[in-house]
Amino acid sequence: MDQQPIISFKNVNKIYNNGTVGLKDINFDIPRGEFLVVVGLSGAGKSTLLRTINRMHEISSGEITIENEPISDYKGQSLRLLRRKIGMIFQDFNLIKRSTVQRNVLSGRVSYYPTWKSVLNLFSAADKDRAIHALERVNLTEKLYTRADELSGGQQQRVAIARTLMQDPKVILADEPVASLDPLTTQTVMDILKRLNQEDGITVIVNLHSVALARQYADRIVGLRAGAVVYDKAIADVTEADLTKIYQTA
């Protein structure tokens, strides 16, 4: 890819207050439109790495740039605008369980409204329409008025993806999006992410446990161990032996 990277890590370190090393000298670029899978053992720093991109976690040193803008000085409104263009999907879906699917999906749009409007539920007709189209992308329009906790795990994750689409994101971060799902719904959710990547050109970064899934969906695989990048190859160059090595304890 010849264009500018959308995200770039430069000498990024993260040390927790208790001295634990979270991330160690991370250096790599993510080109626009890439489907990147991050693999590694539990505690290798995958979640931390992902959350530094939307500043849900702070870094200790180094710099992350998104579209050539350093993000570490953002706060208040500028931080919210940064987060608006970066969607996030979680292992436990993190829907508001007592609310309807519609409200959950619309909640992805609140950063386009002043606080008083989102509190009073004053979404425009265009955005209500947008919510229906977002649900259409994940094949769940018929659940518009269902309460979120009445859905299955896979359906909840699809609602979460629809919520993210409401942000109109340039990047989607997915933190173990299929770890709580069965194999069949896993394929559905991963297929949706892949489609958003290919059809909408959204850059997707996914943390995964499963090496098989990583090989099936990724354009590129990055391996983490003890907070450091120990592996970084395009999918064409990835071999089975490489991946087993990432999962060996040091």
Partner 1 sequence: MTTPEIPQRSWSQRWHVKAVGWTALLVALLMGSSKMTGVDVGMFFSNFDQFTNLLVRMSQPAWSYVPIIIQPLYETIQMAILGTTIGTVFAVPFAVLAASNLVHNRWLRGIIRLILDLVRTLPDLLLAAIFVAIFGIGSTAGVITLAIFSFGMISKLFYEVIETIDMGPLEAMESVGASKVTIIWYAVLPQIMNQFVSYFLYTLEINVRASTVLGYLGAGGIGVFLQRSLSEFDYNKTAVIILATLVVVMVIDGVSNHLRRVLL
List of residues contacting partner 1 (CB under 8 A): 54, 56, 79-84, 86-88, 90, 92-99, 103, 107-108, 110-111, 115, 118-119, 160, 163-164, 167
Instruction: Please identify, using beta-carbon distances, which residue of 164 and 203 lies nearer to partner 1.
Output: 164
Instruction: Please identify, using beta-carbon distances, which residue of 46 and 220 lies nearer to partner 1.
Output: 46
Instruction: Please identify, using beta-carbon distances, which residue of 72 and 107 lies nearer to partner 1.
Output: 107
157-160 contacts, C-beta under 8 A, 24 or more apart: 157/89, 157/93, 157/181, 157/185, 157/189, 158/188, 158/189, 158/192, 159/93, 159/95, 159/101, 159/104, 159/105, 159/135, 160/89, 160/90, 160/93, 160/94, 160/95, 160/104
Distance CA 196, CA 193 (A): 5
Could you tell me the smallest distance in angstroms from the CB atom of residue 107 to partner 1? 5
Could you tell me the smallest distance in angstroms from the CB atom of residue 235 to partner 1? 27
Could you tell me the smallest distance in angstroms from the CB atom of residue 66 to partner 1? 14
Token pair in block for residue 31: 């080109």
Could you tell me the smallest distance in angstroms from the CB atom of residue 94 to partner 1? 4
Could you tell me the smallest distance in angstroms from the CB atom of residue 188 to partner 1? 20
Instruction: Please identify, using beta-carbon distances, which residue of 18 and 77 lies nearer to partner 1.
Output: 77
Amino acid type, 204: V
**φ, ψ dihedrals at 70, nearest 5°:** -65, 135
Instruction: Please identify, using beta-carbon distances, which residue of 26 and 159 lies nearer to partner 1.
Output: 159
